[in-house]
Structure 1
Amino acid sequence: MSKNYVLAIYHRFQKFPFGQQLFSLYAARRAPYFQSISPLVTSLKENYCECLIKKRKKVTNHIGTVHVIAICNGMELAMGFMAEASIPKHLRWIPKGMQVDYTAKAASDVRCIAKVNPEQWQVGELVVPIEALDTDGVCVVRGSITLWVTEKPQRDEKPPAS
């Protein structure tokens, strides 16, 4: 599989000092809702993405832990970039649903991870496992995001102008 546009942009940013931060700012501007968690995409490759949510006041809840909705946003971001960096060119995807279990309190920064196997990219439903780990490696949220994967419509070629 040739490198796609998301991976090309990611690798272009990695050549600069603070490349991960620059890519993450760029990415959050492309999908503005993600700016609310100030994500840092720390790893992006085919079939894998990891992002970091720093524990800051703006993402904490009333008990001082990282709010689970902020974590869900991070997991959705990781899944979305993983999907865009991985899906074969003839396919497209749209999220269909998300299921999560809160397994522990997130009292530290959180790493959100989405990964699939390459052979899973087929027409139909694709269940993407997602997890969020604290700085000690404890899973604080585990779940899945179901994608609906379809063929891209064939583009009609226009006849040459006479």
Structure 2
Amino acid sequence: MSQLASLWNTTNRVPVVGRRIFSIAFSQKAPYFATIRPTVTELRPNYAEVRIPDRRRVHNHIGTVHAIALCNGLEMAMGALAEVTIPSDKRWIPKGMEVAYTAKASSDIRCIAETDQTQWDEANGDLAVRVKGVRDDGTVVVEGVIRLWVTPKK
């Protein structure tokens, strides 16, 4: 079990407070994550969900959640998923992101990252993580792929 999975399991013994503690701790791994004040709401192999609150600090000029804040949330979800999913004999690094903005992000946003276990088991190079951001009413506001480079550990 990865260190991140252990931390998730430990902090989630106290569900609401534990998620906040976990999210703050995980945000320290890449401090720019803290700019969106994320909360990791679900984390398991092949699935991660991060909530970005709709607040002025992450708004764009039209008063919706900014595209880069959305990408930040998607990247955090992807990173959490990768850490708890990758086999112990492999390593990963992000390679690129392709996203489409499909609707206004006018509420809190659930940033979701998903993979299939066979992707990780067979990974030797490119691995595509499916990502999307969803408004409170269920509307997808951003969707795409974050590409990882997965290689054996030396």
TM-score band w.r.t. shorter chain: over 0.9
Residues 21-49 of structure 1, C-alpha deviations (whole Å, 9 max, x = no match): 11001111221010110100000001110
Unaligned runs of 5+ in 2: none
For 1:41-60, what aligned pairs fall within 5 Å after superposition? 41-60=40-59
The answer to whether 1:10 aligns with 2:46 is no
RMSD: 0.8
The letter for the 1-side match of 2:129 is V
Residue matched to 2:131? 130
Normalising by the residue count of structure 1, what TM-score does the alignment of the two structures yield? 0.91
Taking the aligned partners of 2:4 and 2:27, their CA distance within structure 1 comes to: 13
For 1:76-155, what aligned pairs fall within 5 Å after superposition? 76-121=75-120, 122-153=123-154
Residue matched to 2:19? 20
Normalising by the residue count of structure 2, what TM-score does the alignment of the two structures yield? 0.96
Counting matched residue pairs gives 151
Taking the aligned partners of 2:137 and 2:92, their CA distance within structure 1 comes to: 33
Residue matched to 1:30? 29
Taking the aligned partners of 2:115 and 2:75, their CA distance within structure 1 comes to: 14
Pair member with larger Rg: 1
| Residues 74-83 or 121-130, more deviating | 121-130
Unaligned runs of 5+ in 1: 154-162
